[in-house]
Amino acid sequence: MQKRLEKIADNNITRSASKNSAVARLNGLWAIFEKSDNVLIVISADPDAIASAMALKRLLSYRVHSVTIGYPNEIRRLNNLTMVERLKIPLERLHTLSMKDYSKKILLDSQPNHLACFEKMTFNAVIDHHPVTTGWDAAFIDIRPEYGAVSSMMVEYLRAAGIKPSVALATALFYGVKVDTQNFQKQNMQAADGICFRYLFNIANLNLVRKFELTELRRSELRYFRTALNEVKASKGRAYVHLGKVGTPDILVIIADFFNRVESFDWVIVSGVHGEKLVVIFRCDGYRKNAGKLAKATFGRFGPAGGHKEAARAESPLKNLPLRENQEFTTKTLIRLITQHIK
């Protein structure tokens, strides 16, 4: 079992399977807030993070003065945009907000050293399910890497508070669990994810969930599939492809998931350039493999990198990469960097 990190009261830190009850966690979380607080919930927007932020906002209703959900990344994937639009979820881009307007900040579904913009912020609470990192602290910490989704954790908080989620909130949480556990195929999910999923099943609007899932591609993005099919290189059960400049990093995820369905590919590594950054997406089956560790080993020295056993991501400013002057990053460059760490 992966190590947890929980700090719910009086600097009492637990790093193993915790005996803290859901009610104890809830009370520990509530204890750090005051009625006059203006709270900022910070997420890297994806279905699990968005749904979890909705749940946390509901948990803080009537207990603080205001709650705002802020995110740094542009939401480009149509699934996610459809979710936000259909459920009318109020979100704000982080760069449009003034940090001095918020007395408390919470980081959800991430940790302070996952993104450069998070490293510049001080958080009062961190709730996550990714592997525990170091070099930061908060008054309240609840990190449970064995959970498949933070949405599952938030359902436990809601139930501990005696709050039945609305149809909109239940639909978001249901979709969040479904996406982050990859329809319950990820190895790091546990019974708690199934229990929460079954609870939400009776409340969520399943027709809306299907709409989110089916809305995936813009017609203009089909060209990336042509590039990927022409450019992909396969060796020793690994598929490598660099797509060049992309309009959104989300297309890299879609392409990686597409190639991950190919029977002969044990590893899929897809990269592309967005703005001044190289973004690399890793996929594998997680059997005697660890995408998060490979991402960190290969690109961790250049920028944020990591993830789960089956899926990971790395981002690096182009100027940090070991390239000669005027040298472009290509599929061959990707292969060279990866094969230094995997034989």
47-61 pLDDT, tens digit per residue, is: 999 999 999 999 999
CATH 3.10.310.40 intervals, the chain: 219-340
The SS3 assignment for 334 reads helix
Task: Sheet with 104-108: list strands edge to edge.
Answer: 13-14, 5-7, 140-143, 125-128, 104-108, 38-42, 66-71, 92-93
- The string of DSSP codes covering 189-241 is --HHHHHHHHHHHTTS-HHHHHHHHH----GGGHHHHHHHHHH-EEETTEEEE
Mean pLDDT within 116-122 = 92
| 255 pLDDT higher than 90 | yes
Which is more confident, 215 or 224?
Answer: 224
Q: What is the pTM of this model?
A: 0.69
| 188 pLDDT higher than 60 | no
5-214: in CATH 3.90.1640.10 = yes
pLDDT band at residue 181 using 50, 70 and 90 as cut-offs: confident
Determine contact, residues 68/89, Cβ cutoff 8 Å. no
Beta strand pairing status for 233-235 and 238-245? antiparallel
How high is the pLDDT of residue 219?
87
The highest-level CATH class for domain 219-340 is alpha beta
| 18 pLDDT higher than 80 | no
CATH 3.90.1640.10 intervals, the chain: 5-214
Of the ranges 9-23, 132-146, 190-204, 261-275, which one carries the lowest mean pLDDT score?
9-23
Beta strand pairing status for 38-42 and 104-108? parallel
How high is the pLDDT of residue 155?
97
Measured between alpha carbons, how far is 88 from 136 in angstroms, rounded to an integer? 34
Which is more confident, 26 or 187?
Answer: 26
How high is the pLDDT of residue 189?
58
Of the ranges 9-18, 136-145, 288-297, 305-314, which one carries the lowest mean pLDDT score?
9-18
Q: What percent of the chain has pLDDT over 70?
A: 96
Mean pLDDT within 205-219 = 89
Mean pLDDT within 273-282 = 96
pLDDT band at residue 332 using 50, 70 and 90 as cut-offs: very high
Residue 173 buriedness (CB in 10 A; 0-12 / 13-18 / 19+): buried
pLDDT band at residue 284 using 50, 70 and 90 as cut-offs: very high
Measured between alpha carbons, how far is 56 from 306 in angstroms, rounded to an integer? 25
How does the average pLDDT of the chain come out, rounded?
92
How high is the pLDDT of residue 313?
97
Mean pLDDT within 234-261 = 94
Q: Which of 268, 223, 267, 218 is nearest to 245 (CA)?
A: 223
